[in-house]
Chain A
Amino acid sequence: MARLRHYLPHLVLALGAAAMLLPFYWMVLTSIRSPSEIFDVSLWPVPKTFSGGENYAQAASSVPMARFMLNGLIVCGGILAVQVLTSVPAAYALAKLRFPGRRIMLALVIAALCVPVQALALPLFVGLARAQLLNTYFAMMAPFFLSVFAIFLFHQSFRSYPDEIIEAARMDGFSEMEICWRLVLRGSLPSLAAFAVFSVVAHWNDLYWPMIVINKTELAPPPLGMLFFSDAETGANYGALMAGATIITAPIVLCFLLARRHFIAGITMTGVK
């Protein structure tokens, strides 16, 4: 009885975890099985004939899979770079510089935090369509150039940076730019890392906005590419489809497994404020 009490939580957790991981297992397993085994619903991990090569080759040849990944990289990298460039100075100004309009700006940042991007999509789309900018990397990135969440996060973190050090640096002739980027931001590197994870994961996985502004296959980021692929492969070849899903899911999942703590901190950051 005591033993059961000891092992019961593990048992329950293991059953739950098996259900959580089943889709991943099934995805990878199907991606290395041959199409003839499709009617074999067994969960046995070793396929009768290993067809991973064919499946992955077909996923990569029927849609430009490498291009999707490159697009994802460009979009996520571009968004993150501009977000950091615009939000760090603003957060520094809000936290450490007294300027008129500061309070209004902080209030606006907090108000903007509750406006989801889906609510802004329609006018942004009309604007981009009028400017003939649909189907460009710029259109995919533009709505995210400003992250009010980054401003909020960095503001909270920069505030605790000692004013004495800033004063001393000013005396030593540091410019405000140098103080902001070389001193204050360096004191908040964990926040920067967490925000980077948050931003990259959100935009790597985002479907809504790319689906609105992109309809060219060669510009599609991974989720949109996956949608094009699954719409084209209407159930005919599950092996290739699962190979595609594996390729698209792998980068973030692998990063997560390698840097678990950072990932959990980054993604759930919205919760610890």
Chain B
Amino acid sequence: MTTLDVSVSAAGPARPVRSAAERRLIRKGLLFAAPAMVLMVAIYGLPLVMLGGFSLTDYQLGAIDWSFVGLSNFTKAFHDPVFLRAMANTALYAAIVIPCGVFGALGIALLVHGRRRSRALWETAYFLPVTATLVAMATVWQFLLHPTLGPVNAAIKALGFEPVSFLGTPALLIPTMALIGVWQILGFNMVLFLAGLTAIPKDLTEAARMDGAKSPVDRFLTVTWPMLGPTTMFVVVTSSITAFKVFETVAVLTKGRSGSETLLYELYLEGFDYSNTGYAAALTLIFLAIVLVLSIGQTLRMERKVHY
């Protein structure tokens, strides 16, 4: 659709006469941008329109009949106990992952930042989980947390406590998955904080020391923390988007049993397992709305950086 707009405005009669070389560059520009534009329409444009359309119908993939149902998919969603539970679970997951993932990473970054010779070593150790395939690592965690065979419970027993069945107690399912989520996200956030810390001018810390901020805590509160504001904001945003997309750990560890559905997993079940296309489209739009609200500030900031 956009390629069409472009050709119309290019042919606009009010334009001044251009030289042959300029016209050649315009033609090249359109030509170079065309494949990306076509894919943009095919991958983003049409699917988003279809998604909006599906959400207003009771369409089921493979069915011949379908009808318009207005907004009833959305009202259904907000009365669907499974979906509401998935929302609550995802919110709980995020409520654990965001603070632990952000402040834990900040703490690690502050410690790593001060190291000179061993910095690369710590960076590697903490970043390793970010690169590892989460599906495989979730299987490893399942084994680590096993009530009788895993070392975690062996340690708990050695300390004199009762073994904990992390993946056998419904109330512990989401917190356990959040623990894995924190484990995976810490290194990523640490690197972002390290970049932010490196950008703080040394003189500033020195000046604060001169001004009487004697203890490291004072200097952190007067200089480091305010200067890290934009970084912290960014880390919180990316962490919350990641948290709302939790999927792999659910797929491996619980498959949503014992009420451990999350937003994306529930969406997956409705759309691709039960083929409730219309209803799943409504759920997808709710998911998309959450992600957009979380990322809007970040996007505007990026938009300002682009010079048109």
- Given A17-B122, A230-B139, A129 contacting B267 (CB threshold 8 A): no
Across-interface contacts of B126 in A (CB, < 8 A) = 16-17, 20
Across-interface contacts of A208 in B (CB, < 8 A) = 247-248, 264, 268
Question: In the complex, A89 Cα to B245 Cα: how many Å?
Answer: 32
B160 within 8 Å of A (CB atoms)? no
Q: Contact between A223 and B133 (Cβ–Cβ < 8 Å)?
A: yes
A1-55: which residues lie under 8 A (CB-CB) from chain B? 9-10, 12-13, 16-17, 19-24, 26-27, 30, 38-39, 41, 43
A60 within 8 Å of B (CB atoms)? no
Contact with B136, one of A98, A223, A238, A257 (Cβ below 8 angstroms): A223
B7-41: which residues lie under 8 A (CB-CB) from chain A? 9-10, 25-26, 28-30, 32-33, 35-37, 39-40
How many Å from the CB of A118 to the closest CB on chain B?
Answer: 6
Across-interface contacts of A123 in B (CB, < 8 A) = 46-48, 50-51, 54, 281
Listed from nearest, the 10 A-B pairs whose CB atoms lie closest are A99-B29, A101-B6, A97-B29, A90-B36, A146-B39, A123-B47, A93-B32, A123-B50, A245-B136, A41-B154
Q: Contact between B140 and A26 (Cβ–Cβ < 8 Å)?
A: yes
Q: Contact between B123 and A146 (Cβ–Cβ < 8 Å)?
A: no
Q: Contact between B123 and A211 (Cβ–Cβ < 8 Å)?
A: no
Known pairs A13-B108, A112-B44, A143-B43 / 17 extra A-B pairs, C-beta < 8 Å: A9-B114, A13-B115, A23-B144, A27-B140, A39-B149, A43-B151, A89-B32, A99-B29, A104-B2, A107-B303, A120-B47, A122-B54, A122-B280, A123-B46, A126-B277, A205-B135, A252-B132
Across-interface contacts of A125 in B (CB, < 8 A) = 271-272
How many Å from the CB of B52 to the closest CB on chain A?
Answer: 9
Question: In the complex, A146 Cα to B39 Cα: how many Å?
Answer: 6
Q: Give residues in A with beta carbon < 8 Å to B.
A: 9-10, 12-13, 16-17, 19-24, 26-27, 30, 38-39, 41, 43, 85-87, 89-90, 92-94, 97-116, 118-127, 129, 142-143, 145-146, 148, 151-152, 155-156, 159, 176, 180, 201, 204-205, 207-208, 211-212, 222-224, 226-227, 230, 238, 241-242, 244-246, 248-249, 252-253, 256-257, 260, 263-264, 267-268, 270-273
Question: In the complex, A67 Cα to B301 Cα: how many Å?
Answer: 43
Q: Contact between B28 and A93 (Cβ–Cβ < 8 Å)?
A: yes
Among listed B90-98, B186-194, B206-214, interface-contacting one: B186-194
Nearest A residue (CB) for B192: A271
Main secondary structure on chain B at its contact with chain A?
helix
Chain B: residues with Cβ within 8 Å of the partner, total of: 100
Contact with B191, one of A26, A107, A176, A268 (Cβ below 8 angstroms): A268
Question: In the complex, A99 Cα to B23 Cα: how many Å?
Answer: 9
Across-interface contacts of B32 in A (CB, < 8 A) = 89-90, 92-93, 97, 176, 180
Nearest A residue (CB) for B180: A23
Across-interface contacts of B28 in A (CB, < 8 A) = 93, 97, 99, 176
Among listed B71-79, B168-176, B221-229, B289-297, interface-contacting one: B289-297
Contact with B251, one of A97, A145, A207 (Cβ below 8 angstroms): A207
B236 within 8 Å of A (CB atoms)? no
How many Å from the CB of B77 to the closest CB on chain A?
Answer: 14
Q: Contact between A93 and B29 (Cβ–Cβ < 8 Å)?
A: yes
- Given A87-B36, A253-B132, A26 contacting B43 (CB threshold 8 A): no
How many Å from the CB of B238 to the closest CB on chain A?
Answer: 7
- Given A24-B128, A114-B292, A271 contacting B234 (CB threshold 8 A): yes
B61 within 8 Å of A (CB atoms)? yes
Question: 26 A–B contact pairs at CB < 8 A?
Answer: A19-B183, A20-B187, A22-B151, A23-B144, A26-B151, A86-B35, A86-B36, A99-B6, A99-B33, A101-B5, A103-B308, A121-B284, A122-B284, A123-B50, A123-B51, A123-B54, A129-B61, A142-B43, A146-B36, A151-B36, A180-B32, A208-B247, A245-B136, A246-B136, A267-B130, A270-B238
Nearest B residue (CB) for A109: B40
How many A-B Cβ pairs are below 8 Å?
308
How many Å from the CB of B39 to the closest CB on chain A?
Answer: 4
How many Å from the CB of A238 to the closest CB on chain B?
Answer: 6
Q: Contact between A267 and B122 (Cβ–Cβ < 8 Å)?
A: no
Contact with B137, one of A109, A241, A245 (Cβ below 8 angstroms): A245
Contact with B143, one of A17, A26, A89, A109 (Cβ below 8 angstroms): A26
Nearest B residue (CB) for A204: B133
Contact with A264, one of B123, B134, B136, B291 (Cβ below 8 angstroms): B123
Q: Contact between A201 and B234 (Cβ–Cβ < 8 Å)?
A: no
How many Å from the CB of B215 to the closest CB on chain A?
Answer: 12
Nearest B residue (CB) for A24: B128
Question: In the complex, A198 Cα to B112 Cα: how many Å?
Answer: 24
B287 within 8 Å of A (CB atoms)? yes
Q: Contact between B281 and A122 (Cβ–Cβ < 8 Å)?
A: yes
Q: Contact between A248 and B136 (Cβ–Cβ < 8 Å)?
A: yes
